[in-house]
Amino acid sequence: MGTHKRADEPRRKINPLYNDRKLKLGTFSSNLSHGCAITTIDGVLKADWQSTLTLARLADEMEFEALVPVGRWKGFGGVTNFNGAGFEPYTWAAAIGATTKYSAVFATSHVPTVHPIMAAKQAATIDHVTGGRFALNIVTGWFLPEIEMFGAPQMDHDLRYDCAIEWLDIIKRLWTEDEEFDYSGRYYQIKKGILRPKPIQAPYPVVMNAGGSEKGRHYAAKYCDVAFVIFDPDDFAGAKARVRSYRELAQREYGRDLQLWTAAYVVQGNTEKEARDFFDYYVHQKGDWVAVTNLVETMGIAAKTLPPETLRSMKAHFIAGWGGYPLVGTNEQIVEGLGRLSEMGLDGAVLSWPRYIDGMRQFKQEIMPLAKQAGLR
């Protein structure tokens, strides 16, 4: 573990993901239409450059540690065609990185859609653009209609991770090795691979994965620096145990330190009733239930085996904010919720709002001062 830490030291000094704040924060899906809210209300995020730039600058002003886009090539239908319009993550990251000063800027990359040499080169370029603030979020591709757009077959779950191992191995070698190398794998054949200039971060840029399966957890623990954790928001003890187990897996099996993050959505109100009434309005009254049904079915969730009330509750959770952790209530209650995330052992949380820009501005004005007072920032 000590060797890993020493090798990590150069990037720890320049990448904000390694600062000492108690709970790091980020934005999620600010590159796509509607962000994380599958709803028809007014004021949702539009897929135009000024909107996504406004969110990035707000985050940068608050010194959010992470700006995490979602890789999306096709929407989920319904009246909103949720996430159907949006910006490609690598080019988005380059442009956003050039206009921000503090936050780490991620690109979310589908393994089957980008060759590792191209991914390594794009990542190195963005790392230079940002002065060493780039991070790569690896996804293996679960949304079949998107993979079919590229004319690629959808591999079985475990094989997708086997492919991702080769993909990232090639990228890391390109990032770190000075001499040309050949690579002969099951999925990739490289002849005299080389990359110059190298990324600014040493030994290489931060890598993230949201593996939730056993295979995915081991992939993140062994090969990545940051992992996403999803849990039952009503089970604090279970969530804390899940976080601890993930961290211990990385340390015990692979001798590595792993940051653990989650996603949360913020619904702010002057009173708890006001916040919950707005939640009911944008989710239950104005939610796009066709789009969320398409999403759930595409994810392969066994909807037919779930009780109707359980299925509807799960869909509502996705409408509210892509199934993230709910932070619903007054300013003080939201800060308490952020504190609970920290108490679970999490290093950070990426946030979203139903009315993304307005909500984030309110968060900056009213909640960030309270989060600082609480010692979270």
Strand (E) or helix (H) holding 279: helix 272-279
**The whole model's pTM is what?**
0.94
Residue 209's φ and ψ, nearest 5 degrees, are -150, 150
Q: Is 162 exposed, middle or buried (0-12, 13-18, 19+ CB in 10 A)?
A: middle
Judge whether 92 and 49 are in contact, CB under 8 Å: no
At the fourth CATH level, the homologous superfamily of domain 2-373 is: Luciferase-like domain (3.20.20.30)
Helices (H) and strands (E) in the chain, counts: 14, 11
Q: What is the pLDDT of residue 304?
A: 59
Q: How far apart are the first and last CA of the chain?
A: 27
The confidence score (pLDDT) of residue 152 equals 77
- pLDDT mean values, one per 10 residues, the chain (377 residues): 54 95 98 98 97 98 98 96 97 98 97 96 98 96 85 86 97 98 97 97 95 91 95 93 96 96 98 98 98 88 70 93 96 98 98 98 98 97
Which residues lie closer than 8 Å to 115 by C-beta, 6 or more apart? none
Q: Which amino acid does the sequence have at 155?
A: M
d(CA 271, CA 289): 27
Residue with tokens 């139903």: 354
pLDDT at 1: 37
Would you list the domain boundaries of the chain? 2-373
Q: What is the DSSP letter of 280?
A: I
Of the candidates 77, 104, 142, 109, the residue with the CA atom closest to the CA atom of residue 21: 104
